[in-house]
Structures are given as structure tokens and as C-alpha cells.
Structure 1
Amino acid sequence: MKILSVDDSATMRKIIGRVVGMLGYDLLEAGTGEDGIAVLEQNVADVALVIMDINMPGMDGISALEAIKANERTRNVPVMMVTTDSDRQRIIQAVRAGAANYVTKPFTHDDLAAKIADTLGASEF
């Protein structure tokens, strides 16, 4: 199974990729909300989770989340949002739009691994 990281920061995608690899998943990457939706649509059968930044140029994470949840093919894929501590209102907005979980920056590898495990359910590990 695969985890899709959607973030405009290549460094953040690399950090997420390390944790995803430690958990035994393959990483797919996208640098924009639009690209994330396209990658998910092409790989929907193999994607266990999308980890998406809220704040991205162009299509932000909330808009991409709404598009994923509106699409019959992708709506059941859980989406975990990545945000900063100061984004409380955006976190509420994301949860209302269908986010399964969120993690706040900065986070440790252990924090992210725990959030992934929580989002996917302990039976995955």
C-alpha cells in the first residue's frame, strides 16, 4: 500500500517519506493540490492515506480535500492534514470538510507515525 504526501515543500515531503518508509509503506508525492488529486485518482486502489498540507499556493489543502471528498472514486480515502499551531480555524474547517486527522508542525517522526497509525487504525500495524 501507498501513502500520498501532498505538500509544496520538498523538504516536508522528504521528512514524511522517511516516516512512511519506516512504517512499511511506499510514498507517492505531489507538490500542489491539483497534482495531489491527479496522483490520487491514478492510484486510488493502492493509496491507504493522503497526508496533505493545508497551506499551499494555488489550490490549498482544504480545497483539495473538498474535491477528494466530492469525488465518488476517492471519497473513502482518509486524508490527514498537516498544519501549523496557529491554524486552529483551518483545522476545524478541514475536519468539517472530511479530514480524518491532522498533525501540527513542527512534529517528530514519532508524532507523525502515531498519527498515521491512529488514522489507519492499529490493525494496520
Structure 2
Amino acid sequence: MENNISTMPLEMTMTAVKLEDGILTLEIDNHSGYEMTYGEDYELQRQEGDSFVKVEPESDIVWHDIACSIPDLTKATVTCDLKPYGKLQAGVYKLIKSDMEAVFELTADYDPD
């Protein structure tokens, strides 16, 4: 009997790379064993105590209803506009996109304007 089981970690990871002019740049690394898709939508959360709570935007956010794909063993760079959230207080944040999470810390208050 042939063993068709992969022993490599099968996952997609998302890492925050930089925040500049209100635009958060993320890197998605696909090691899932499959071509994966994700959309433009995301949720921003801020850590309060031991849990994360949703940050509500100050203005409406509009996302296009599209699916982006990333082949297996590939990295993709994506951006998320955080300007609709206005001034963000220093603290630990989590951006959630298509079942992926990127945690990042703002060491000082951040105003994109």
C-alpha cells in the first residue's frame, strides 16, 4: 500500500508587515497543499485584557465581491485600508481575513491623517 500522506505542516499563515499612511501590508504564505482563495473583506479587533474585541469603523467600508487565489507553496502580499477606523490607540490588534489572523502591535497611538 502506498503512503500518500504528507507530513509537512499544511497551513496558511498571514503576517502583518508594515503600516504606512493607513495601509496595513500583509503577507500570506500558503502551505496548505491546495490553491486557496480569500476575499477583500476583513475584521479588525483590539486586545482588551485577555480577549480581543471588534473595532468598529468610523466610516463605511466597501469591499468588492471578488475571490483572490494563491497557489500552494506561494506567498502573496495584500493590503488593508485601516483609514476608515480613524485614530487607533496604542495596543495589540488582530486582523482577521478568511479564517486567517495577523496579530500586530501599535507602540504609540496611530492617526492615518
TM bucket normalised to smaller: under 0.3
Instruction: Pick the structure with more strand per residue.
Output: 2
Which structure ranks higher in relative contact order (CA pairs < 8 Å, sequence separation ≥ 6)? 2
TM-score (norm 1): 0.20
TM-score (norm 2): 0.21
Instruction: Pick the structure with more helix per residue.
Output: 1
Q: If you compute each CA radius of gyration, which structure gives the higher value, 1 or 2?
A: 2
